Structure 1
Amino acid sequence: MIKEIKTIDNFNFENQTALIRVDFNVPVNKFYRITDDTRIQYSIPTIQKILSEKGKIVIISHFGRPKGIPLKTHSLKFLVNYLSKKLKITVNFFGDCIGETVIKKVNKLKNGEILLLENLRFYKEEEKEDENFAFELSKLGNIYVNDAFSVAHRFHTSITVLPKFFGKKNVLVFLKREIQYLDQFLYGKGKRPITILLGGSKISSKIEIIENLINFADYILIGGGMSYPFIKIKGGKIGDSLIEKDEKIEKTLKKIFHKYQNKIEIIHLPIDVVAADSFKNEANTKTIPIHSIPNGWMGLDIGPRTIKKFCEIIEKSKTILWNGPMGVFEFQNFSLGTRFIAKTIANSTEKGAFSLIGGGDSLASLRMENCDKKISYLSTGGGAMLDSLKNKMLPGIKAII
């Protein structure tokens, strides 16, 4: 079924108006200068392809969480100059995304011209799978192009409802690229050894991934806040380390340990941690075994023995996936583990390994070490990537099948 989905190469866009759903929800500083343009970079080839065929382009996206309220701080207007320079063409902007005036602007577009519309989330209907809102958006083009993998897991109007109004004129740009790379982990198609690194604070979003990938991975390395529930059910003392409070998590982890007894050696937990007496960069610290964190102390980074162990595994791996930091890396004093992991994956990639990294924090740590360009593939969709690794059909794909 997925093979039947049309890609951008199946269409000639001459004299056509392409309504492109992108994800230009990019991080910006207080001056609205873009600090990471990865998501935009991935959409540039799509835009250029349509322009080269003398098509017309209408771009729709969300930015931030204005919750249905038009806010100047959440306008997409700041993108105009950047996109114009990047594409070497004037990008027009209009401060709305539906209505008669918008339709008139679209109808005035000439072949090879671009119109960027205002934030979809200025309408609360965008996040409610609203048929009427989708119908109004559908008037803005005759080919729908979804080039927003990072929001393909969302049940939002422009992702799941809008494609229904375009029949066979639906295009998924990201599908082939993302599926091709994720399959290396989902079905063990990558070169071995295959290593999965999972970090961050929320284990609830990644338990299914562990269950799904334990059959294909050679190593599953777990760090960050994710590791403490594991240590706790094994009888370790985690002090005041932050963990998700959910009774189901403990039961599910016990079930994993019982169900996969013969494969449990695949899962590698930290040996030691850098513990702190408070949640701040200037806290007092000590490096101790992870299973004996005293009350009043919390683990905020993996320790040197764990760094050495994890890096040795990464160095001998041929296929590597990473999502989530190894500690509170935004605090300089607790960023060492995450930074070492980032550098080691980059070095292994330069030596021939395939690496796929997703999630905002993981990508940020790569940029901190100036090694984001050394990774095989950076996935712009943290949540979408996680849902894919659970072997779930993403809503944005299902809507087009």
Structure 2
Amino acid sequence: MTSEPRQNRAAPTVEQIRRAPKVLLHDHLDGGLRAGTVADLARTTGYRGLPETDAGELDRWFRAAADSGSLERYLETFSHTVGVMQSRGALVRVAAECAEDLAADGVVYAEVRYAPEQHLAAGLALHEVVEAVNDGFREGERRARERGNRIRVGALLTAMRHAARALEIARLANAYRDAGVVGFDIAGAEAGYPPTRHLDAFEYLKRENNHFTIHAGEAFGLPSIWQALQWCGADRLGHGVRIIDDIEVGDDGRVRLGRLAAYVRDKRVPLEMCPTSNLQTGAAASYADHPIGLLRRLHFRVTVNTDNRLMSGTGVSREFGHLVDAFGYTLDDLQWFTVNAMKSAFIPFDERLAMINDVIKPGFAQLKSAWLFPDAPATSGAAGSGG
């Protein structure tokens, strides 16, 4: 009997995962700061109220608060990160470091979201917030290139569900379309704030042929997903983890999809899943119990994301590492997730195709070749560089 190819049965190493070219679709700018940057900006801006001033202690505090099971403590973490992100300089710095950190983790394409309306306390206008973040991303891309790491970062402008500025933010996203902003999102508590409250924003974006994702199916369940898709017309689902509630697995292992789950799979609706974050919010009890395992087997268009890197103490490589440990995934599986994400990005089709064919597939092929033929001379260029 012919043995199975080595890359199809062996778990990738930590270094292989780090070097693999990765794509990130769901990452919050205010949830991904370096703890040292939070402490430094608090000192320079006069922000008061940090629970710790030492960077190491502050980093541990953020993670402990996110893991506490207390929604109040979890939300407090964002009051501190947003609190230090109220000036142009702070926004440029945070965005630049975001791009650098993602590139160092092997991310070649990322869509990072933030809510402009949350950064106006010190007098910035909405358009000044957008321009500062865009400038920061471009600076971070430049610094990454200097280190040999190629990355492209697009911004998603988020409106808060509990506020009444969704149409205003949607218009802002459209105004900066093709100038650093690639789409729109709504975020915040799902319960009590359905996406249908913001139908005017979604109708506007559809008339403008623009892209948007909606946080749905993280905490509130199937009605949130149904409304996001059928009433609002979302291109992607932020999290979408509760789609598992419409899937039954019998004692004999046979799987039955409800009509909503079948629709999501048939329509290839991208699911922006964030395993560690989902564990922290109680959507799954462990990585091994996370719905992503079944959804991958059923060929839903699942993508792997970080949500809030600071609060979860994570990165895309770490998320993949957890899934490798839980489900025995191989480089082939990681490539499948990555191609899914790139197919679902909010940039033009030809640019997505070029990233898949010129960056992602060659990067994974190089890693697999090195795994199969470890004594072969290395080719030039890092697998995750995106060059």
Q: TM-score range by the shorter chain?
A: under 0.3
Q: Which has the higher helix share?
A: 2
Higher relative contact order (CA 8 A, sep 6+): 2
Pair member with larger Rg? 1
Q: Given the two structures, how large is their TM-score scaled by the length of structure 1?
A: 0.27
